[in-house]
Structure formats: structure tokens, C-alpha cells
Amino acid sequence: MNPTSSLLEDIRNVNLSYLLLVQRLLNEDRDQAMFRLKLEPEMAKKLSDLPVSELAKLASSSQLLCHFALDSTEALTTLTGEGRTNDLQRTHEAILLAGRSDASEKVLSGGKRRG
């Protein structure tokens, strides 16, 4: 197996694992999953309704379907830095990650929030 085909196989495996996790999160608590995954209701419904055979097709993309949520080295440093992991730190992490999409959404929509 050459390095490229090995890499593509790894991407397919990550994609399938991610899609299965997405479905599980949506089935367990749709509202929380939509918040964590930053999904619109229509996309959440579509993803939760897809059969495994369709998930497998989608996972076969050569592109990663998930993305890295941290968009700055400061956020990465804050989340990986020294200190105790406690409820306050986890809350701060959630705020950092949730705030990222909100700011991006404002930029994409010209400063207006969709709702």
C-alpha cells in the first residue's frame, strides 16, 4: 500500500468514526449536539436520518469532514496550558469554542445573526 492510499484510508476511517459519533450525539441529545457541532436543525435531522450505508459513502470522501475547532494559538495555549482541570476551566473552554463560531457567523452574515 502506498502512502497516499494509506492516508486516504485513514481519512475514510476518521470520517466514518466522526459521522457515527455525530449520529450518536444527535440521537442522545439533539439540542446539545447541535450546539457542540454547530449544526442547523435541517442538517442535524438529515445527518441523524442517514442510514449506515449512506454514512459509509459520505465517509469515502478524500477530505476530512470534521474540522479543528481552535482558530488561534492563544486558544490552544489556554486549553493546553498549565493549571488544574476543573469545572471553571471546562466552562472557559466551552465559551472559547462556542464563541469562535458566533464570531465567524457574524462575519459571514455581515454582522447580522441568523435566527
83 and 43 inside one domain: no
Quote the CA–CA distance of 28 and 49 in Å, as a whole number: 14
Q: Can you give the CATH number for the domain in which 45 is found?
A: 1.10.4000.10
5 and 61 inside one domain: yes
Q: Structural domain of residue 43, as residue ranges?
A: 1-67
Quote the CA–CA distance of 38 and 34 in Å, as a whole number: 5
**Number of domains into which the chain is organized:** 2
Label residue 111 left, alpha or beta by phi (over 0 means left) and psi (-120 to 50 means alpha): left
Question: pLDDT tens-digit profile of 49-96?
Answer: 999 999 999 999 999 999 888 788 887 887 777 665 666 777 777 777
Given a cut of 70, is residue 28 above it in pLDDT?
Answer: yes
Q: Which three cell numbers stand for residue 74?
A: 492563544
60 and 72 inside one domain: no
How far CA 94 is from CA of 1, 44, 69, 91, in Å, comes to 40, 20, 11, 5
